[in-house]
Structure 1
């Protein structure tokens, strides 16, 4: 039995009844719900009309009439409802109509579902669900989107000012912009987002202009942080997620980037003031805000560097002023010691900011390093920073220097010394000053703790390499071996009954290559001392034949008993001073002329003048000088002063200090010339041919770990190596060098 043919008008009249019923239900009018039988009848009607044989297959006509349902509804119902409404009321109506449209699409596409299965797919037509969305977009959205956008932005600004709005409604309205793009974000971005971002820029530009004038830096940053938080909340509640990075960038640019300089340099509340007042929380907030901005931390790091530099320069200025007024400009004064301690305190404080506030960021480590390199390489009075740090270490390690400090505090101080040294350009100069002072501590038993000495050497070795500390470590080892040697010498003396020195005699045997160079002289020693030396030579000859002893009398000390009229006094003097005093030990010796003393001791005029000054013109006048005066002349005569006395039973008679700074600097300059020569040869040996500029730059880079080489000096050493036939100029290009050795 053949199916009854359903004519187009007949079938559509049945569908219209169902469509009208559906629209009345969605409009909220009194209408009973669809029963399952009604739903199936509508679906079956469409199915039958689409499966009839031509010319009764009405698929195409039904597709067009399906589209017409939306067009008719949007034109006759939706648009009239929207025309008379504005602002929030219009948005509410638009949101409601959009919701009805989505439900209408869902139901109607089910009624006409059979079209989707065959007809639409074969013809590559727009799917049923998209037909409804496109109709709403073209007939409703295009006409109201401008007004809707203005209303939405107005509500967003109302919320920014603290007002309450219906976020869910805004979410529904903005979904229209998103879904009108039919799978793309074009409509949302072009019709809404672009205008929102423009308005946001203007909004925060106005806020920034007012806040930067009214608020302190911390208050301003709190507002910035709150604004960023609120904008992110807006995205999570009703804006599309793709808007967040764009919105955040605008807020950052307008509130932080544009005013960065003014904000960070605000008087009494900017970055420098926050650092000065230990405002850790505010500094952490500053870091968080600017860290989220590409290259945003650079101005903060620059402000941090500027603050640390100013603080350091102020410490240098204080030390210079104190040295000028107090006269402590010799590198060992109290003010210089205070300076190093204050610089260490500044470093500790600055590092705390780097770790706690700036999250250990490399940019702030770099800023800190550059700041300290600026003021740590400045001179204080006549002293270089390298000398000051070496003197600080010397005072630290001397007996009494660190006795009251805990082991932890000592280790922390030593770590800080190494850190400060890393900022100093002239590390080789520090090494030479430190070695000189270490030698005196070791030789004269002035070091408070050998373990702390070794600890610093270990830290320096880790930081600067074994070559930097090799000589110093050799000195420490020498002292240990020297003590063992002395014990063996004493055993040797006690085992030989024929040997009687007549005095206590201690010899410290050292390795020449490790220790600083010291002045030697052919001093005519008293016979008592000569006897001791000969005995030791005899002993040492039994131990080794490979080492030659060179006696450094300038480092020796003696304890001489002075028999004065009131009481005997033990005099702690140098070997040279002892040699002078023993000239007056003979009862027949009454008075000696300067010339006689000079000839008997075989000393230079400079050395003898210092010795006689210390014994006759300084604090302890053990010798009488004729004529009496504060200066030594070659016509003076000297005599033992039996009336000398002192409240102490034992006194140390010091020699006038010698400023060794000049010699140390000269020695370092000499070593630098050799270092530059070696570096140039090493570079050219590996490269064979190099242009002048590249050779100089590579030489500077190679040597900068120990000192900052002078460019003029490098050029001189290049010329020197050319004369020595290590290098040669290229015949065609004089600015290019070849390795020829």
Structure 2
């Protein structure tokens, strides 16, 4: 049986009843029941039957058109009138309601007309039913009301910024409409709402900032700015689209921070300088958080930080200079120790404090590490009371590591931390080679005289120096420590040898390797007979161990214990070899002249004067001198002071200190000449031909890890290498050099 054909008008009457019922449901008519399955099937089947009829009775296109007309009719007759009579927030509420109803209507009608979507629309590539429904609302409702809606939303945001409470869920629903109406694109949200909202945000914060910058201190202003930015972020979380966050915060930051950056940071009594001066850690942290989000916003903060630290460090240098001139200055009362040691302690404290600022307030940012480095490099390379910072650091290490120094007053942890801090400061010193030489000299004395407070701490600082400056920096120092350990083993074997060949007096010898230790002057001291026998015994023993090594005796480093027989009581004297040799002369003669002592000892005047001064003019007067002044002259006469007495039964008589600074500086200058020569040759060997400026630049770069070479010194060494046929000048261009193989 052939199915009955349905005319368009007949079919549409059935569908129109269903659509009317749907409209009543949407309008909330209480007496209108929901669709049941039978009603739904009648509507679906009607459309199916109409669409499956053979032409010319296939009314698919006409149904497709009427689908759109159904929306247009409802919008024109009901939706738009209800929206036009409402304003501001009430209009937004109605708009949200109408959009919600519209989506329901689209969903239901799309179900009724589903057969169109599956076959007719798919075959002709027409816009799907869902899209037709949304487009209809967009063209008829959204286009007319979008400006009013945007204005109403912005007005509510303005109220919220001013402190009023608003219906955030309403704003979210309205802005969701702006997003959904774009059907997968954000152009409606961005063009019709976001642009206007961002423009209003700019105006709002421009007004606020211009007022706050005049009224508030820097900390108060930053508090307000941070709170504003936090609230804007909160707005995005609650009702704005997530894509707005970066744009919104950028606009707010520009008006609040970028526009007034210099004015804010330079506020006279509350800007960054005042915050650093008054240790306002929390405010500095807030400043970093705020300006780290601004393009190049941290540059002025880092510059102010560098200047602040530089001024504090420079003030410490001046303070140390003043104290060196006036020993009664307050700094001497505050902290025990020499002015130079106090200076190093204060620089360590300064570094501890501001590295803490860098790590905590400035979140370990590289810009602030660089600023701190540049600040410390300024005053860590100044001379303090006639001494370089390299020398002061080496001397400070000595005060910590020597017996009777700072180590006995500090815990092991404190010592380790102090050594760690010294090595950190060394990183800022350009003359690291000068520190190495001063430190090596002092380390040698500690090791040779057994004056190290702790072998563990000695090894610890060498490890730290090695990590900071490289293995070459500490190779000789590590060699010294190892060498002394081997020397102790040799001494143990020698003591066993002495049991069979006793020399008559107890003595020990430390054998060192020349390459590791500083160079020392070898003297031709005429030893007393007792000591000569000891030297011969050891020489014979050592030759049985090895016959290809030459022994050079450094008597100036020797120590002797001698019993002094005085009238009151005997006193054991701990002396240097020179002092012991001089005193033993008085066993044979009660009185000797300066010239006689010099001739018998066979020492230069410098050593004779120092030795006799320590025995006759210093604290312990073992010898009497005529005339009885405080200086030793070639015409003086000396005699043994038998009346000498002391409450101690054992005393150490120190030698007057030797100023080694001049020799250390000379040695370092000599080593630098060799280093520059080696660097220039190394560069030229690799490059073959190189211009003067480039050669100097590469030489400075190569050597800067150990010291900052002077350009004049480099030029002089280049000239010397030319005379020694390592390099030659180009004949046509005198600023061009060639390497000679």
Whether the TM-score (by the shorter chain) exceeds 0.5 is yes
Deviation at 1:272, TM superposition (A): 6.0
What is the alpha-carbon distance in structure 1 between the residues aligned to residue 18 and residue 509 of structure 2? 122
Cα–Cα, structure 1 residues 596 and 190, in superposed 2: closer, same or farther, change >3 Å? Answer: same
What is the alpha-carbon distance in structure 2 between the residues aligned to residue 415 and residue 599 of structure 1? 50
1:286-311 residue CA offsets vs partner (Å, 9 max, x unmatched): 55545555665555555544444444
What is the total number of aligned residue pairs between the two structures?
A: 734
What is the alpha-carbon distance in structure 2 between the residues aligned to residue 536 and residue 60 of structure 1? 122
What is the alpha-carbon distance in structure 1 between the residues aligned to residue 630 and residue 101 of structure 2? 114
Structure 2 runs not aligned, ≥5 long: none
Asked whether the 8 Å contact 2:400–2:415 carries over to 1, the reply is no
- From 449, 459, 465, the counterpart of 1:444: 449
Deviation at 1:429, TM superposition (A): 0.9
Asked whether the 8 Å contact 1:216–1:266 carries over to 2, the reply is yes
Asked whether the 8 Å contact 1:24–1:31 carries over to 2, the reply is no
What is the alpha-carbon distance in structure 2 between the residues aligned to residue 86 and residue 424 of structure 1? 73
SS of residue matched to 2:651: strand
In structure 2, the residue matched to 1:635 is: 635
SS of residue matched to 1:423: coil
Deviation at 1:276, TM superposition (A): 6.2
In structure 1, the residue matched to 2:736 is: 736
Cα–Cα, structure 1 residues 74 and 444, in superposed 2: closer, same or farther, change >3 Å? Answer: same
Equivalent positions of 1:316-465 (< 5 A) are: 316-326=317-327, 334-401=338-405, 402-465=407-470
SS of residue matched to 1:346: helix
Asked whether the 8 Å contact 1:43–1:111 carries over to 2, the reply is yes
Aligned pair 1:200/2:201, yes or no? yes
Cα–Cα, structure 1 residues 262 and 379, in superposed 2: closer, same or farther, change >3 Å? Answer: farther
In structure 2, the residue matched to 1:251 is: 252
1:569-611 residue CA offsets vs partner (Å, 9 max, x unmatched): 4433332233333333324x5452x333333333333333333
In structure 2, the residue matched to 1:528 is: 530
Equivalent positions of 1:107-146 (< 5 A) are: 107-146=108-147
Equivalent positions of 1:337-736 (< 5 A) are: 337-401=341-405, 402-496=407-501, 500-501=503-504, 503-587=505-589, 589-592=590-593, 594-736=594-736
SS of residue matched to 1:633: coil
Deviation at 1:217, TM superposition (A): 5.0
Deviation at 1:212, TM superposition (A): 4.5
Structure 1 runs not aligned, ≥5 long: none
1:650-690 residue CA offsets vs partner (Å, 9 max, x unmatched): 33333332211111011001101111111222222233333
1:343-388 residue CA offsets vs partner (Å, 9 max, x unmatched): 3333334444444455544444444434333332222111111111
SS of residue matched to 1:625: strand
1:403-438 residue CA offsets vs partner (Å, 9 max, x unmatched): 343333333333223222223222211111111111
In structure 2, the residue matched to 1:153 is: 154
Deviation at 1:14, TM superposition (A): 4.3
The answer to which of 395-404 and 23-32 deviates more is 23-32
1:166-198 residue CA offsets vs partner (Å, 9 max, x unmatched): 222212221232233233111111111111112
The answer to which of 295-304 and 711-720 deviates more is 295-304
Deviation at 1:516, TM superposition (A): 1.2
SS of residue matched to 2:561: strand
Deviation at 1:133, TM superposition (A): 2.0
Asked whether the 8 Å contact 1:120–1:126 carries over to 2, the reply is yes
Deviation at 1:636, TM superposition (A): 3.4
Cα–Cα, structure 1 residues 315 and 710, in superposed 2: closer, same or farther, change >3 Å? Answer: same
What is the alpha-carbon distance in structure 1 between the residues aligned to residue 479 and residue 155 of structure 2? 80
Deviation at 1:443, TM superposition (A): 1.7
Cα RMSD of the aligned pairs, angstroms, is 3.2
Deviation at 1:440, TM superposition (A): 1.2
Cα–Cα, structure 1 residues 577 and 126, in superposed 2: closer, same or farther, change >3 Å? Answer: same
Equivalent positions of 1:231-270 (< 5 A) are: 231-263=232-264
Asked whether the 8 Å contact 2:730–2:737 carries over to 1, the reply is yes
What is the alpha-carbon distance in structure 1 between the residues aligned to residue 300 and residue 605 of structure 2? 63
Deviation at 1:50, TM superposition (A): 3.6
The answer to which of 609-618 and 86-95 deviates more is 609-618
SS of residue matched to 2:586: coil
Asked whether the 8 Å contact 2:591–2:640 carries over to 1, the reply is yes
Asked whether the 8 Å contact 1:264–1:303 carries over to 2, the reply is no
SS of residue matched to 2:408: coil
Deviation at 1:145, TM superposition (A): 1.0
TM-score after normalising by structure 1? 0.90
1:685-739 residue CA offsets vs partner (Å, 9 max, x unmatched): 2333333333333322222222222222222222222222222334454433332
